[in-house]
């Protein structure tokens, strides 16, 4: 069962969750109230509407970038943020603004983000990403190598979490080992019978809630309505996970991957 707190001191967070690698939800975080009030689509449009962003599109709203689950392309389109917001709000197909670095791409609004009391001052990895999507956007089952705080700024999202020990029942994609081949939207127990042995935890976040996911906890995410989230990847210590992330970044810079045509960055099109 997911632990839910309404108040959590940094000390309790450290002892009861971070150290023992247990996820937790903190409901109605006071530090998020002002952000939820301020970060409305109209605010983004006036503060950063002309900023060019990459928006992902998938017909079914299923954002399986690695094609671990469904053999369907996710296309990426460049467009000004205000256009992305209009498309997302209009529900023209499924568009999802995913994992946009706030510090790099939206410097004018980065200072709106509150300092969270649970993050120490030591931050070997500290990346803050914006997510804006509509009902039905799915991020399929995967894990991250570092600590992850998901702040729900507006709207609702459901998370299904599995502990790292369940990896042996989750049909890990042998080519992309932080992703699973299981489709939790349409589970197929004939193909994936070991799913019955797992211990999932499901939780719906609402505006102002925060979810802490320790490194290597699997998560599948479903947007229930138009919503805005921020995720913070964080690692307070230098570790193999940091090296892994630093190496991944360096490798991308040194040897940019040859992407299949549908994943190449394109200029705005009328593609649906
Ligand atoms: O909110 C989502 O759709 C996915 C978030 C996620 O996977 C993450 O923060 O690692």
Per residue in 11-47, pLDDT tens? Answer: 999 999 999 999 999 999 999 999 999 998 889 989 9
Distance 11 CA to ligand 1 centre (A): 26
CA distances from 123 to 117, 205, 236, 267 (A): 13, 26, 5, 35
What is the residue-averaged pLDDT of the chain? 89
Nearest ligand 1 atom to the CA of 129 is 9
Q: 50, 43 in Cβ contact below 8 A?
A: no
Pick from 153, 139, 132: which is nearest to 88 by CA?
132
Residues 6+ apart with CB under 8 A from 271: 57, 75, 77
Alpha helices in the chain (DSSP H): 10-13, 30-38, 41-48, 81-90, 102-105, 240-254
pLDDT of residue 231: 97
Where do the domains of the chain lie?
A: 3-163+202-263
**Percent helix / strand / coil, the chain, rounded to 5:** 25, 30, 45
Q: If phi over 0 gives left and psi between -120 and 50 gives alpha, with beta otherwise, what is residue 119?
A: beta
Q: What is residue 188's predicted lDDT score, i.e. its pLDDT? A: 97
Which CATH topology does 3-163+202-263 take? Jelly Rolls (2.60.120)
**Which residues in the chain show pLDDT less than 70?**
92-93, 238-242, 244-246, 248-249, 251-253, 255-272
CB atoms within 10 A of CB 264: 10
Reported residue count of the chain is 272
Q: 247 CA distance to ligand 1 centroid (A)?
A: 21
Mutation choice for ligand 1 from 229, 230, 241, CB with most ligand atoms inside 8 A: 229
Q: Which atom of ligand 1 is nearest to the CA of 231?
A: 9
């Amino acid at each position: 069962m997911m632990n839910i707190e309404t108040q959590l001191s940094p000390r309790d967070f450290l002892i009861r969750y971070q150290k023992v690698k247990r996820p937790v939800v903190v409901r109605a975080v006071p530090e998020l109230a002002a952000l939820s009030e301020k970060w409305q689509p109209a605010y983004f449009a006036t503060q950063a509407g002309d900023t060019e962003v990459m928006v992902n599109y998938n017909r079914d709203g299923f954002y399986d970038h690695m094609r671990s689950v469904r053999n369907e392309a996710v296309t990426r389109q460049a467009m000004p943020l205000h256009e992305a917001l209009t498309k997302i709000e209009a529900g023209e197909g499924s568009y999802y603004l995913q994992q946009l670095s706030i510090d790099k791409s939206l410097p004018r609004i980065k200072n709106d983000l509150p300092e969270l009391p649970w993050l120490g001052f030591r931050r070997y990895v500290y990346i803050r990403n914006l997510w804006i999507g509509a009902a039905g956007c799915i991020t399929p089952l995967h894990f991250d190598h570092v600590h992850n705080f998901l702040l729900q700024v507006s709207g609702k999202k459901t998370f299904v979490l599995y502990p790292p020990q369940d990896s042996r029942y989750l049909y890990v994609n042998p080519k992309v080992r932080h992703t699973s081949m299981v489709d939790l939207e349409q589970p197929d127990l004939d193909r994936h019978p070991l799913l019955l042995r797992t211990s999932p935890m499901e939780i719906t976040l609402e505006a102002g809630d925060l979810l802490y996911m320790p490194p290597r906890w699997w998560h599948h995410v479903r947007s229930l309505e138009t919503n805005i989230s921020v995720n913070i990847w964080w690692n307070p210590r230098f570790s193999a996970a940091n090296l892994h992330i630093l190496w991944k970044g360096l490798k991308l810079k040194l040897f940019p991957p040859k992407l299949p045509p549908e994943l190449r960055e394109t200029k705005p099109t009328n593609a649906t």
